[in-house]
Chains A and B, each alone.
Chain A
Amino acid sequence: MSNGLLDIRNLRIALNGNKDQQVVKGLNLSIEPGQTMCLVGESGSGKSLSALATMGLLPPVLSPIAGSIKLKGEELLGASPARMRELRATSMSMIFQEPMTALNPVARVGQQIEEVLEFHTNLSQSARRKRVMEMMEGVHLPDVEKMYRSFPHQLSGGQRQRIMIAMALVMGPQLLIADEPTTALDVTTQAQILSLIRELREQQGTAVLFITHDMGVVSEIADDVTVLKLGEVMETQNVENLLRHPQTDYTRQLLQAVPSHVPRMARAEGSKEIVLSTDKLCKTYGGGGIFTRAREVKAAQDVSIKLMKGRTLGIVGESGSGKSTVARCIMRLIDPTSGSIMVGGSDIATLKQRELKPQRKKIQIVFQDPMRSLNPRIEVGQSIIEGPLNFGVPRAKAMARARELLELVGLPASAIDRFPHQFSGGQRQRIAIARALAMEPDVLVADEAVSALDVSVQAQVLELLAELQQRLGLGILFITHDLGVAAQICDEVIVMQYGRVVEYGPAAQVLGAPQEDYTKALISAAPGRDWDFANFRPFSEAPLAP
């Protein structure tokens, strides 16, 4: 067992070297040459820290206090900084989640790759440049001469991640550590990057330690899987076995929480009352400046939607599709260029701020990142009652209502005078929902509201939304990039691309039997679409529906 490429034995990482504050508690992991090991876990599982420890890049407050990490038999814990620098890029490399921030914004990307060769080889400058070009072609970047001279902000997300991969593999290391490398990318780009990693692994024989929280990605790329929970290994298995026969309850729960790509059964038609509709909504940016000749960008074009009371309408699309623009126009956080927005019988598209104010009550929004959407300096109760107070509700009454709402979203009423940082991500999103509900809206706009949450928490929040909808008759406009989530929560789905509506219809039809090529491409790019994770089998083996 000890002749693997990478052998991690009983690794313990602790905060401030204090053994009572362990964040990784005895990790064992072994990777053979050319193999892909997925390290799976939710936030706080210690998966990224284990990877950083291997690279010797842990932040100073965290340190390994026990165990061993051996690369090709060489102990890395306690190796000199100079030796670690030698090993990085030549024997082991790492790519990260967000390629935009992982690249130096003020240096040309070609030079950033070349820098690796500069420090690890004796190649002449022209030889280095040649090697960089080859590598950039190897990761299928177009027009490499031009690309070499580009800055990171001039590239797309997928191109940036390709640059990162080229940089990581230019020295041909035997181990590539990939920390959520596709999480920040669109689904079609994600599919391309995954296939690139597979291809390079086969070409170069690189072993991959692939860190992810996404079971779909796991099913696409893993040979073996190690499941981590709060710093402890739950189980290590071959991927097929893990998906079919998980050994621990935790893995089972993790799999069952993955939203299936098969749309849920359509709900019986409910109310015919339209709570929100838009007609030919358009939003155009840029153009028409005196000094600037900015290109006109049509962020949303002729978007017409209809949302009934008690129903959920999903808008899905990749980044830049205009789905968030539509949500923000509807909220009047930005002003639409043309078209109408009917909320409860009045057109709010062109109302002035003063006239708009009474209408705002009817439509509320929950944002993606609950870490940033709640003011960190004020207590959650204050955040919740701020809206009602503005509409003249007496403070005592608003506070009483806030307590009820916290209980409604599954938090103790005593949470009311605590601060946001005292809650977990999922709890914060519950608070954000309570805040929105405090206004007693007819429509709730959820803009990627579960995207930043772990999959088990995501499932709970989706359940909460469904329950609140039943109880309060809310119309929900649900913006998401995740087709699985859309399939599980939406009655109707709109697919958007480049600011236009591509397909619009009942969820079962759009996601189950798509008509448009773009929708089909989106669905076929979704990782793990063939797996029915919750039932531990591929869809192909599912018993036929009655």
Chain B
Amino acid sequence: MLGYILQRILAAIPVMGFVALFVFLLLRLTPGDPAAIIAGDTATPAQLEAIRTSLGLNDPLFTQFFRWIGQLFQGDFGTSIISGKPVIELIAARMEPTISLALTTIVLSVAIAVPLGVIAAWKHGTLIDRFVMLLSVLGFSVPVFVIGYLMISLFSMQLGWFPVQGFKPIGDGVGKFFHTIALPTFTLTLLYIALIARITRTSMLEILGDDYVRTARAKGLPESRVLMRHALRNCSVPIITVIGIGLALIISGVVVTESVFNLPGLGRLTVDAVLARDYPVIQAVILLASLIYVVINLLIDIAYVILDPRIRYA
């Protein structure tokens, strides 16, 4: 098991290497001169040249690349061109809202969607099943910002239950935290409920036709046991996959939701950086997002091995 994990971590290194190279080239090959952005409109050619030299932009590409990689390994992600602050600080400040939103959304979605999917499959073809399917079509097809504004209009403006926007860190008190994160969570949850309930229903439908489910019933087990222990357990691989991908998606950019609810998260940071051509920030955010994907995929792979003994480490 440990060897398997080590092997998977080793395999992730070239992936991250390629991402780093891509990100680096993206910056160098897109039109636009960082020196010009820093210096502003009034700069003289001599000033520009001085800035270029100080940024190392006149060195050969591969020298720049390895220098940059070297800095990354020392935890130096560069400095934002716009705010002048270290990128790592900017990201750290934006991590909490995004991670909080991701976790609340996934936990709530799983708690609702998995039972819904199981029941829909169990009561296949009945009204409950159709209701779940309808919910899931709605969740997929109504854009997030529409749901977001509807939520705000109903729960904030009319009922006054939740704030319209903003974010309070968990350090300010659990109550305040949940009060501010509730609406964005509900908004995003609808999409993930749709996704997870659907995959749960489909996998369960397939598994419920399997022989060992019949065996479980032939043993005289109650339906709850047949469904949870024998059927759902065998669906865990596709469900975990979708949950993992969902989590990675939320962390690496829920731009719309963060914008609607004015959450100071990573998604907003990314958009602002792109609009301002703040290359060091863009680079760091892309790298971070890839790292999150790689880590979550690794966790999913490890979960497979734990959940399904037939999957070999090799």
**A residues within 8 Å of B by Cβ?**
55, 57, 84-90, 93-94, 96, 98, 101-107, 115-116, 119-120, 151, 153, 164, 167-168, 291-292, 294
Residues of B1-22 contacting chain A, CB below 8 A: 7
Can you pick out 21 interface pairs between chain A and chain B where the beta carbons lie within 8 Å of each other? Answer: A57-B217, A87-B220, A88-B218, A89-B220, A93-B218, A98-B211, A102-B214, A103-B215, A104-B216, A105-B212, A105-B234, A105-B309, A106-B308, A116-B220, A119-B220, A119-B222, A119-B225, A120-B220, A151-B309, A164-B215, A167-B219
B310 & A105 in contact (Cβ 8 Å cutoff): yes
Q: How long is the Cα–Cα vector from A291 to B310 in the complex, in angstroms?
A: 19
**B59 interfacial contact with A, CB 8 Å:** no
**B272 interfacial contact with A, CB 8 Å:** no
Kindly report which residue of chain B lies nearest to residue A151, judged by CB atoms. B309
Q: Which residues of B contact A57 (CB under 8 A)?
A: 214, 217-218
**B233 interfacial contact with A, CB 8 Å:** yes
Q: Which residues of A contact B308 (CB under 8 A)?
A: 105-106
**B307 interfacial contact with A, CB 8 Å:** yes
Interface size class of B (residues with CB under 8 A): 20 to 34
Q: Contact flags (1/0) for B227-248 with A, using CB distance below 8 Å?
A: 0011001100000000000000
Q: How long is the Cα–Cα vector from A55 to B307 in the complex, in angstroms?
A: 31
B219 & A101 in contact (Cβ 8 Å cutoff): no
**B210 interfacial contact with A, CB 8 Å:** yes
B218 & A292 in contact (Cβ 8 Å cutoff): no
Residues of B277-314 contacting chain A, CB below 8 A: 307-310, 314
Residues of B132-171 contacting chain A, CB below 8 A: none
Q: Which residues of A contact B50 (CB under 8 A)?
A: none
B221 & A292 in contact (Cβ 8 Å cutoff): no
Q: Which residues of A contact B229 (CB under 8 A)?
A: 107, 115
Q: How long is the Cα–Cα vector from A93 to B217 in the complex, in angstroms?
A: 10
| A291-B314, A294-B314 as given contacts; A104 in contact with B230, CB under 8 Å | yes
| Whole-angstrom distance between the Cβ of B233 and the nearest chain A Cβ | 6
Q: Which residues of A contact B309 (CB under 8 A)?
A: 105-106, 151, 153
**B residues within 8 Å of A by Cβ?**
7, 210-212, 214-222, 225, 229-230, 233-234, 307-310, 314
Q: How long is the Cα–Cα vector from A436 to B71 in the complex, in angstroms?
A: 66
Q: Which residues of B contact A88 (CB under 8 A)?
A: 217-220
Q: How long is the Cα–Cα vector from A115 to B234 in the complex, in angstroms?
A: 17
A153 & B310 in contact (Cβ 8 Å cutoff): yes
Q: Which residues of B contact A103 (CB under 8 A)?
A: 212, 215
Q: Which residues of A contact B219 (CB under 8 A)?
A: 88-89, 115-116, 119, 167
Q: Which residues of B contact A291 (CB under 8 A)?
A: 7, 314
Instruction: List 14 additional contacts besides A88-B218, A120-B220; criterion CB under 8 Å.
Output: A55-B218, A84-B220, A89-B220, A90-B220, A96-B214, A98-B211, A101-B212, A102-B215, A103-B212, A104-B234, A106-B307, A107-B230, A153-B309, A291-B7
A119 & B230 in contact (Cβ 8 Å cutoff): no
| One of B7, B211, B215, B220 near A85 (C-beta < 8 A) | B220
Q: How long is the Cα–Cα vector from A94 to B218 in the complex, in angstroms?
A: 7
Kindly report which residue of chain B lies nearest to residue A101, judged by CB atoms. B211
B233 & A106 in contact (Cβ 8 Å cutoff): yes
| Whole-angstrom distance between the Cβ of B42 and the nearest chain A Cβ | 59
B233 & A107 in contact (Cβ 8 Å cutoff): yes
Q: Which residues of A contact B218 (CB under 8 A)?
A: 55, 57, 88-89, 93-94, 168
| Whole-angstrom distance between the Cβ of B128 and the nearest chain A Cβ | 15
Q: Which residues of B contact A94 (CB under 8 A)?
A: 218
A102 & B314 in contact (Cβ 8 Å cutoff): no
| One of A89, A93, A104, A119 near B212 (C-beta < 8 A) | A104
Kindly report which residue of chain A lies nearest to residue B230, judged by CB atoms. A104
B314 & A292 in contact (Cβ 8 Å cutoff): yes
Q: How long is the Cα–Cα vector from A94 to B225 in the complex, in angstroms?
A: 19
In the A-B complex, the 6 residue pairs with the smallest Cβ-Cβ separation, listed nearest first, are A88-B220, A101-B211, A89-B220, A104-B212, A85-B220, A151-B309
B211 & A96 in contact (Cβ 8 Å cutoff): yes
Q: How long is the Cα–Cα vector from A84 to B218 in the complex, in angstroms?
A: 9
Q: How long is the Cα–Cα vector from A291 to B202 in the complex, in angstroms?
A: 35
Q: Which residues of A contact B233 (CB under 8 A)?
A: 104, 106-107
Kindly report which residue of chain B lies nearest to residue A153, judged by CB atoms. B310
| A104-B230, A104-B234 as given contacts; A85 in contact with B222, CB under 8 Å | yes
| A106-B233, A106-B308 as given contacts; A96 in contact with B220, CB under 8 Å | no
Q: How long is the Cα–Cα vector from A104 to B229 in the complex, in angstroms?
A: 9
| One of B212, B215, B220 near A86 (C-beta < 8 A) | B220
Kindly report which residue of chain B lies nearest to residue A88, judged by CB atoms. B220
| Whole-angstrom distance between the Cβ of A433 and the nearest chain B Cβ | 31
B210 & A101 in contact (Cβ 8 Å cutoff): yes
User: Which of A57, A87, A115, A120 gathers the greatest number of chain B CB atoms within 10 Å?
Assistant: A115
Q: Which residues of B contact A85 (CB under 8 A)?
A: 220-222
Q: How long is the Cα–Cα vector from A356 to B33 in the complex, in angstroms?
A: 59
| Whole-angstrom distance between the Cβ of B24 and the nearest chain A Cβ | 30
Q: Which residues of B contact A167 (CB under 8 A)?
A: 215, 219
Q: How long is the Cα–Cα vector from A96 to B308 in the complex, in angstroms?
A: 23
Q: How long is the Cα–Cα vector from A291 to B212 in the complex, in angstroms?
A: 35
Q: Which residues of B contact A294 (CB under 8 A)?
A: 314
Q: How long is the Cα–Cα vector from A57 to B221 in the complex, in angstroms?
A: 12
Q: Which residues of B contact A120 (CB under 8 A)?
A: 220
Q: How long is the Cα–Cα vector from A94 to B211 in the complex, in angstroms?
A: 12
| Whole-angstrom distance between the Cβ of B283 and the nearest chain A Cβ | 32
Kindly report which residue of chain A lies nearest to residue B210, judged by CB atoms. A101
Q: How long is the Cα–Cα vector from A77 to B308 in the complex, in angstroms?
A: 38
| Whole-angstrom distance between the Cβ of B190 and the nearest chain A Cβ | 31
Kindly report which residue of chain B lies nearest to residue A91, judged by CB atoms. B220
| Whole-angstrom distance between the Cβ of B159 and the nearest chain A Cβ | 44
Q: How long is the Cα–Cα vector from A93 to B221 in the complex, in angstroms?
A: 12
Q: How long is the Cα–Cα vector from A401 to B308 in the complex, in angstroms?
A: 50
Q: How long is the Cα–Cα vector from A90 to B221 in the complex, in angstroms?
A: 12
Q: Which residues of B contact A102 (CB under 8 A)?
A: 211-212, 214-215
Q: How long is the Cα–Cα vector from A174 to B309 in the complex, in angstroms?
A: 35
Kindly report which residue of chain B lies nearest to residue A167, judged by CB atoms. B219
Q: Which residues of B contact A90 (CB under 8 A)?
A: 220
Q: How long is the Cα–Cα vector from A453 to B217 in the complex, in angstroms?
A: 29
| Whole-angstrom distance between the Cβ of B208 and the nearest chain A Cβ | 10
Q: Which residues of B contact A93 (CB under 8 A)?
A: 218
Q: How long is the Cα–Cα vector from A101 to B307 in the complex, in angstroms?
A: 18
Q: How long is the Cα–Cα vector from A105 to B236 in the complex, in angstroms?
A: 13
Q: How long is the Cα–Cα vector from A382 to B191 in the complex, in angstroms?
A: 45
Q: How long is the Cα–Cα vector from A64 to B42 in the complex, in angstroms?
A: 90
Q: Which residues of B contact A89 (CB under 8 A)?
A: 218-220
| Whole-angstrom distance between the Cβ of B234 and the nearest chain A Cβ | 6
Kindly report which residue of chain A lies nearest to residue B124, judged by CB atoms. A60
Kindly report which residue of chain A lies nearest to residue B231, judged by CB atoms. A104
Q: Which residues of B contact A87 (CB under 8 A)?
A: 220
Q: Which residues of A contact B225 (CB under 8 A)?
A: 115, 119
A106 & B220 in contact (Cβ 8 Å cutoff): no
Q: How long is the Cα–Cα vector from A93 to B211 in the complex, in angstroms?
A: 15
Kindly report which residue of chain A lies nearest to residue B125, judged by CB atoms. A60
| Whole-angstrom distance between the Cβ of B122 and the nearest chain A Cβ | 11
| Whole-angstrom distance between the Cβ of B302 and the nearest chain A Cβ | 16
| Whole-angstrom distance between the Cβ of A461 and the nearest chain B Cβ | 28
Q: Which residues of A contact B212 (CB under 8 A)?
A: 101-105
User: Which of B212, B233, B234, B307 gathers the greatest number of chain A CB atoms within 10 Å?
Assistant: B212
| Whole-angstrom distance between the Cβ of A525 and the nearest chain B Cβ | 26
Q: Which residues of A contact B234 (CB under 8 A)?
A: 104-106
Q: How long is the Cα–Cα vector from A102 to B217 in the complex, in angstroms?
A: 11
Q: Which residues of A contact B310 (CB under 8 A)?
A: 105-106, 151, 153
Q: How long is the Cα–Cα vector from A115 to B222 in the complex, in angstroms?
A: 11
